[in-house]
Structure 1
Amino acid sequence: MSTRKRTATRYTVRTFEPDDRSVFLSLYESVFGHERNADWFRWKFSENPYVDHVPILVASEGGDPVGFRSFFAQEMRIGGVVRTAFQPCDTMVHPDHRGRGLFGRMNERAIERYTDGEPSFFFNFPNENSKPGNLAYGWREIGTVPAYYRPQNPISVLEDRIKAGPRRDVTDAQSSDDGPATTVTDTLEDAIATSQRAGDRLLVDSDSEFELEYYETPPADTLAAIYRRSIPEAIHSNRTAAFYRWRFDNPIHSYAAYVARRNGEPVAALVISTEDDHVRIVDALPRTVESESEPLNRLLASALDDCADRSYVEAFGKTLPAPLRFRFYPDTRLPLSALIKPTSRTLLARNLGDEIDLESSSIASWTFSRLDLDTT
């Protein structure tokens, strides 16, 4: 237990109460800049199937909430064992109450509440603001998981960068629907998209034995059946049909799936989520992606063809059999590391009791897709 000095004795830390929800949602919008509603809160916390309570600690002053330490409950598979884990998320303190030790006090209360019971451990990918606080209260750094990006439409990205610059009058004139620059831009975009498609087709065997299917709603039972074909030993979310149905019920995202069949049997799948200007590859099955690299590459080529009009495609962790082959570049290495601020995540873990020791694990002992993150 930490012996750090508490600098704000007038605050208390308590468990979440139903009346706290409206304050939580309001503070979330203020801190993170995204609006979330009651349906999202119910999905993520109240109706999460892996916990029997709302796993949120509240820092309050005179009974009024001023900070929250939240947890996203998940069922994790560790070899042949399944255990409940909590992923800390959505941690926030009102600006008027920061710098007074509330993050640490909420951490202490969470450790006290959940040690020697369920969950078995914490794991998360904290940002630079919360990472030191986690390390100070017993979390251990495991390793780095890269994000991968494939540029789809560099012309649009360039236009967005120009519009954000100071010469707005010039940009507006150049982007006029009736101007010649628009014709040039459209021509370049079409040429790039055509080149991308042609390159992708050269990477797959069009005469292969696989039948490809597209689903506007991911088929939970089919995805679970593919997952069971080859379950990795590495630590990951346990992908049952019930898990998929709940996970894809997230009200702030929409998901679609591509499935490959061999002789009528589903053998591989990709799940994607379409954002404003880009596409995320959310999950890839089987999770031992190398075991079915050919159908996964076929599915990837099909998905990339369908989203050729998006600016870029993003993947995370162990999702693609050969990322560089399809021009997915990690943000931890050149060229992207020199051009953009890396968004790779550092995995931290903390044991809760003696049942399982994950603090001494290596990053190779884990396998992630975006589906393992609370934000997707």
Structure 2
Amino acid sequence: MTASSAGLTYRPLRDADTPAVLDLLTASLAGGPTGTRSAEFFEWKHRQNPFGSSPGLVAEHADGRLAGVRLFLRWQWQSGGRAVPAVRPVDTATHPDFQGRGIFRDLTLRLLEEVSAEAELVFNTPNGNSLPGYLKMGWQELGRVPIAVRVARPAAFALGVRAALARRSGGGERPLVCALPTAAEWFAGPRTGLDELLRERAAADVTDTRLAVRRTADFLRWRYGDAPGLDYRVVTCHRGGELAGLAVGRPRRRGPLHEFTLADVIVRPGDRGSAARLLREAARAGCDHVAGHLAAGTEAAAAARRAGYLTVPRTGMVLAARSPSGPLAAARTPADWRFNLGDLEVF
């Protein structure tokens, strides 16, 4: 089904559009989190997602050029054991020749209407430039997601912070080093004990009414093990020979600093000791610091201080949301969610 407006045709995204969409996203948003926008990454993100293929729309000019593109990444939260289907606005771009015509708004509102029958929640973490536009389209700013940081290499961290404040490179680019095994290798192995760990976690979480993603082996393998070019790493800890906890993160450059972005921490219910061990091991990955979101009430949050993690004030991503049909029925804050950074990380 297509619709026309101001000489443009709005239609569903097709598989054959992928090369042109990648060119448009590269021109507008550069290379993305991996540095290069590849068909492999696009396929993994938007077609292999265990929550379902991403709905998308394009604005096509009469000469065949794509004037704009908008995709929603499918996600699924749960609250007290009830599934809450959601979408996350991602990968949007307008060709420079067509900017100023309201294409971003048109694509977004049309796609919201298309997903209204199948999604209860629309959420994302817009930056300061895009947030005003989302607020005009009915999004609500829910608050800032707090980030906890653990300095791992004090001297290198101090030098990097000084260089960042002075807007200097930091004396030449250092090689990014991480001693942890890759998630691709770990999830390709036997993963002994993972299913049991996840079953115990899910059974305990069913009474939690906060919005959270149910971690399954298939989800974790897709999100971290199969992610092309994102270099996720795995930390594990064992108790009595059994898998007691799993953490996932990735080394990345933050200006002159090397950060280990902690995406996920999973331990058995009440096992703060294993959470502390995972947090300490993440700090030994080889980066200058570790950064992650440790949701209140979780074992990781309870273990954070004794593992050397402190919440940094006035930092973190802004969380915004709406329903497909309009504002949220009930006001929410980040405290109503129990997410890991991997749920909000831009990828």
Question: Could you say whether these structures have the same fold, taking a TM-score greater than 0.5 normalized by the shorter chain as the test?
Answer: yes
Distance change (3 Å), C-alpha of 1:155 and 1:73: same
Q: 1:274 to 1:162 in 2, by over 3 A?
A: closer
Number of the residue aligned with 2:9: 12
Q: C-alpha deviations, 1:106-135, integer Å up to 9, x for none?
A: 1210122111x2122211111122222222
- AA of the residue aligned to 2:260: V
Deviation at 1:79, TM superposition (A): 1.5
Kept in 1, the 8 Å contact 2:276–2:306? The answer is no
The answer to whether the 8 Å contact 2:140/2:320 transfers is yes
In the alignment, what sits opposite 1:314?
291
1:359/1:14 Cα in 2 relative to 1: closer, same or farther (>3 Å)? farther
Q: Which secondary structure does the structure 1 equivalent of 2:37 belong to?
A: coil
Q: Which residue of 2 aligns with 1:217?
A: 186
Aligned equivalents of 2:344, 2:43: Cα separation in 1: 18
Aligned residue number for residue 341 of structure 2: 370
In the TM superposition, residue 371 of structure 1 has moved relative to its aligned partner by 1.9
Deviation string for 1:138-170 (max 9, x for gaps)?
2222222122333333544526965997999xx
CA distance in 2, matches of 1:351, 1:23: 30
Decide whether aligned partners of structure 1 residues 287 and 19 sit closer, same or farther in structure 2, where only a CA change above 3 A counts: farther
2:177: which partner in 1?
A: none
8 Å CA contact retained: 2:113, 2:325: no
TM-score (norm 1): 0.72
SS of 1:236 mapped into structure 2:
coil
Quick check: 1:352 aligned with 2:324? yes
SS at match of 2:236: strand
In structure 2, distance between residues paired with 1:99 and 1:83: 35
* Distance of aligned partners of 1:147 and 1:159 in 2 relative to their CA distance in 1, 3 Å threshold: closer
Deviation of the 1:225 alpha carbon: 3.3
Structure 1 pair 246–257 and aligned structure 2 pair: CA distance change class (3 A): same
Could you list the runs of 5+ residues in structure 2 that have no partner in the other structure? Answer: 174-180
What is the match of residue 118 of structure 1? 118
- Could you list the per-position Cα deviations for residues 177-221 of structure 1 after superposition, in whole angstroms to 9, with x for gaps in the alignment? xxxxxxxxxxxxxxxxxxxxxxxxxxxxxxxxxxxx998514453
Which amino acid in 1 is paired with 2:320?
L
CA contact (8 A) 2:232 2:248 kept: yes
Counterpart CA distance in 2 for 1:13 and 1:252 is 32
In structure 1, the partner of 2:92 is: 91
- TM-aligned CA distance change 1:328 to 1:98, over 3 Å: farther
RMSD: 3.3
Change (3 A) 1:275 1:222: farther
Equivalent positions of 1:43-58 (< 5 A) are: 43-51=44-52, 53-58=53-58
**2:265/2:340 contact within 8 Å kept:** yes
Secondary structure in 2 aligned to 1:217? helix
Cα distance in 2 for partners of 1:259, 1:367 equals: 21
Indicate if the aligned counterparts of 2:244 and 2:268 stay in contact, CA closer than 8 A. no
Q: What is the DSSP-based 3-state SS (H/G/I as helix, E as strand, rest coil) of the residue aligned with 2:283? A: helix
1:77 to partner: Cα distance = 0.8
What letter is aligned with 1:268?
G
CA distance in 2, matches of 1:26, 1:58: 13
Size of the aligned set, in residue pairs, is 313
Q: Distance in 2 between matches of 1:97 and 1:311?
A: 43
Once the two structures are superposed, residues 278-318 of structure 1 have per-residue CA deviations (whole angstroms, 9 ceiling, x without a partner) of: 21111011497xx322211022222322x2x3222121242
Which residue, 190, 196, 214 being the options, matches 1:238? Answer: 214
Contact 2:77–2:83 (8 Å) recurs in 1: yes
Give the alignment of 1:181-192 within 5 angstroms. Answer: none
Q: Which amino acid aligns with 2:219?
A: F
Compare 222-231 and 156-165 and name the one that shifted more.
156-165
For the residues of structure 2 that align with 1:369 and 1:222, how far apart are their CA atoms? 20
How far 1:252 sits from its partner (Å)?
2.1
Q: How big is each residue's C-alpha offset from its partner over 1:61-88, in whole Å with a ceiling of 9 and x where there is no partner?
A: 2242122211111121122101321111
Percent identity between the two aligned chains: 29
CA distance in 1, matches of 2:139, 2:268: 27
Q: 2-side partners of 1:105 and 1:244: how far apart?
A: 34
Unmatched tracts of structure 1, length 5 or more: 1-7, 176-212
1:284 counterpart residue number: 265
TM-score, normalised to structure 2, is: 0.78
2:97 aligned partner, one-letter code: D
Preserved CA contact (<8 Å) 2:125 2:317 = yes
| Range with greater deviation from structure 2 (60-69 or 219-228) | 219-228
Contact 2:245–2:268 at 8 Å: present in 1 too? Answer: no
1:302 match: 281
